[in-house]
Amino acid sequence: MIEKIAIFYVAVFTLLIFLRIFWRSKISMIAFSWIGPFPGEGESLSSFKLRKVKYSLNWTLQFIYLFGVLFLLATYSPWVENTKIFLVFVFASTIGLGMAALATIGFFISWCKTKLVGLDPTFEFEYIEIDDDPA
């Protein structure tokens, strides 16, 4: 069993390394699109944090929708409740809902702190030249 877990981790980390190396490919962009919003030029910190709250709330609502679909599926097809794949989806969506809800609460508290206490700077980027031709 330990060998299978080790092989799984080696495969996952190898895949992540390849995605990081080829970061401009469409597959890499899709794989890392879940990271969340990126601050815009001249955007205040509080508005950026509010966008993060909306982003994580969107994920929370998607998991709640998934639970509704799973509940309807189990209600109208009772045999589905005993399948392993259904149990895996319920277990994974429970973890996802918990993480999304905690992220929403944490980002909301961070936004309230920035909005109420202060220190609300704006983002200004320094542009760095990237040489596409390394030779």
Residues 6+ apart with CB under 8 A from 105: none
Residues 6+ apart with CB under 8 A from 104: 53, 56, 57, 59, 60
116 or 35, which is more confident?
116
> Does residue 2 register a pLDDT over 80?
yes
Cα separation of 38 and 47, whole Å? 11
Structure confidence at residue 132 (pLDDT): 66
Distance between CA atoms of residues 32 and 78, nearest Å: 37
Average of per-residue pLDDT across 107-112:
94
Q: Is 13 helix (H, G, I), strand (E, B) or coil?
A: helix
pLDDT band (50, 70, 90) for residue 133 = low
* Per-residue pLDDT reduced to its tens digit, 18-58: 988 988 888 888 777 767 788 888 888 889 899 999 999 99
